[in-house]
Amino acid sequence: MPRLLTLFLLACGVSWGGPSASWRARLAVDAARAQRTVAHLADDALEGREAGSQGAEATIRFGEAVFRALGLEPAGSEGYRQPFRVKGRAMSNVLAALPGSGETGEAILIGAHLDHLGRGGMGSMSLLGRGEIHNGADDNASGVAAVLEVARGLVASGIRPRRRILFALFDGEEQGLLGSKHLAAQRCFPERLALMINLDMVGRLEGPLTVAGAESGGELLAGWLREAAAEIHLELRPERAVYANSDHHPFYEQDVPVLVPFTGLHRDYHRPSDDVAKVNAEGIAQVARLAAGVAARAAAAERAPTFVPAPAATLEIFLEQAQAFLRLPTRRTAPRLGVGVSAARPRGLRITAVDPDSPAARAGLEVGDVITRLGEVTVDSRADLRRGLQPGGLLELELARGGEAYVVWVRLNSARGDWH
């Protein structure tokens, strides 16, 4: 853009945002640089980036260095870091911000988890590979690379957003979403979150890109997603359900709209073979361009998307997908109730989905019911729920509905899968 025109627009108070910022951000995203980032993070020298390890610390320092070089503001509780401890192990999220005007009191969060499995352990899908370095190129060096490319793109775009844009690298995801749960519970920023974009496993793009969560922000968010995808000629495969399997979920549970691009499960998932040679760097760049396009629109928009609960997916559906991708054997050693659940307050599990023709459906359970007891087991977690299931048995189930307590009897199927 000619300098005189630029100065004229600035003098007139034109805000760099929305589609124009999206266009400039796209130009700055670099697939070759994303490939180098993945290669660096998935190198054997980092020994799989297990949370609390020296490899994870090196990744944290790498993220800090990139954010600092881009001139982004520190947004952690201690500079770019938000340290926390779990069971005596020191971990840290990395947080940076692109300033907004402050007029909305809102922020956009774009994040990815930085940790992986180290040398395997209980999270490894490879019995023979435990003890070997699990480099986690797709899971989730690809997501870190994408977040850093989004940051570079939005900085280069010159965007002056209404909403502050936060970039987060989460620690401890593989151990139970520890970093994102910590940030959701102990926010080190004052703004209300208007949108969370989670980039987890975005390194194996082949064909249409699966994107979950668009419906959680209503038609406004879905429209931004369509526009951003059309700009880069990217075909999408919408996923209506929102899974509780990655760092978007602690924010989704706080009624924050989420967007979750995902390039799919594969046979290298949580195995030593998830290496950089199998990553599609141009695919990572496309995901970064998409995320930057949506973020630019969300940051500049007159209004934020309104949260709409998306259809929840039962864990059994997720396992069926995993079995299809990974050719895993189907376990048939325990019964199923046929519900999707999330934690309820102050206790119990809230039903978020009921499978048709399941024991739960036949017993009259409904979305919104809170399960508090199953048989002799007080239910406060998924582990409690699984412990209360008995094959082929008739169980007493206590639930809360509309402020009233009810007891129903549920006859479980004989063994069929090992989840709810």
| Predicted confidence (pLDDT) per residue in 206-219, tens digit | 999 999 999 999 99
Which part of the chain has CATH 3.40.630.10? 10-300
**Is 313 a residue whose pLDDT tops 70?**
no
Confidence of residue 312 (pLDDT cuts 50, 70, 90): low
Q: What is the mean pLDDT of residues 43-66?
A: 98
Cross-strand bridge partners of residue 284: none
> What three-state secondary structure class fits 116?
strand
Question: What pLDDT, on a 0 to 100 scale, did the predictor assign at position 18?
Answer: 64
What are the phi and psi torsion angles at 77 (to 5°)? -80, -20
Q: What is the mean pLDDT of residues 180-200?
A: 97
Q: pLDDT tens-digit profile of 337-383?
A: 888 777 777 888 888 777 777 888 899 999 889 999 998 899 987 77
**Is 250 a residue whose pLDDT tops 90?**
yes
DSSP 367-385: TT-EEEEETTEE-SSHHHH
Which part of the chain has CATH 2.30.42.10? 332-411
Integer Cα distance of 169 and 380 in angstroms = 30
Instruction: Indicate the average pLDDT of the chain.
Output: 87
Contacts of 332 (CB under 8 A, 6+ apart): 415, 416, 417
Confidence of residue 327 (pLDDT cuts 50, 70, 90): very low
CATH superfamily of 332-411: PDZ domain (2.30.42.10)
The lowest-confidence range among 149-158, 195-204, 353-362 is: 353-362
Question: What pLDDT, on a 0 to 100 scale, did the predictor assign at position 8?
Answer: 39
DSSP 165-210: EEEEEES-GGGTSHHHHHHHHS-SS-SEEEEEEE--S-S---SSEE
Q: What is the mean pLDDT of residues 54-71?
A: 98
Q: Which 8-state DSSP code applies to residue 141?
A: I
Decide: 372 and 399 in contact? Cβ < 8 Å.
yes
Integer Cα distance of 128 and 309 in angstroms = 41
Reported as half-sphere exposure (CB side, CA atoms, 13 A), residue 220 has a value of 18
Reported as half-sphere exposure (CB side, CA atoms, 13 A), residue 201 has a value of 21
Domain 10-300 has CATH 3.40.630.10: yes
Question: What pLDDT, on a 0 to 100 scale, did the predictor assign at position 413?
Answer: 65
Cross-strand bridge partners of residue 374: 377, 397
Integer Cα distance of 95 and 167 in angstroms = 6
Integer Cα distance of 160 and 404 in angstroms = 50
Q: pLDDT tens-digit profile of 74-94?
A: 999 999 999 999 989 999 999
Closest CA to 59 of 50, 70, 71: 50
Q: Is the dihedral of CA 289, 295, 301, 306 positive or negative?
A: positive
| Parallel, antiparallel or unpaired: strands 192-198 and 106-113 | parallel
The lowest-confidence range among 11-15, 71-75, 163-167, 299-303 is: 11-15
- Indicate the pTM of the whole model: 0.75
From residue 226, alpha-carbon distances to 81, 91, 154, 229, 278 in Å are 34, 37, 19, 5, 28
Integer Cα distance of 129 and 127 in angstroms = 5
Q: How many residues does the chain have?
A: 420
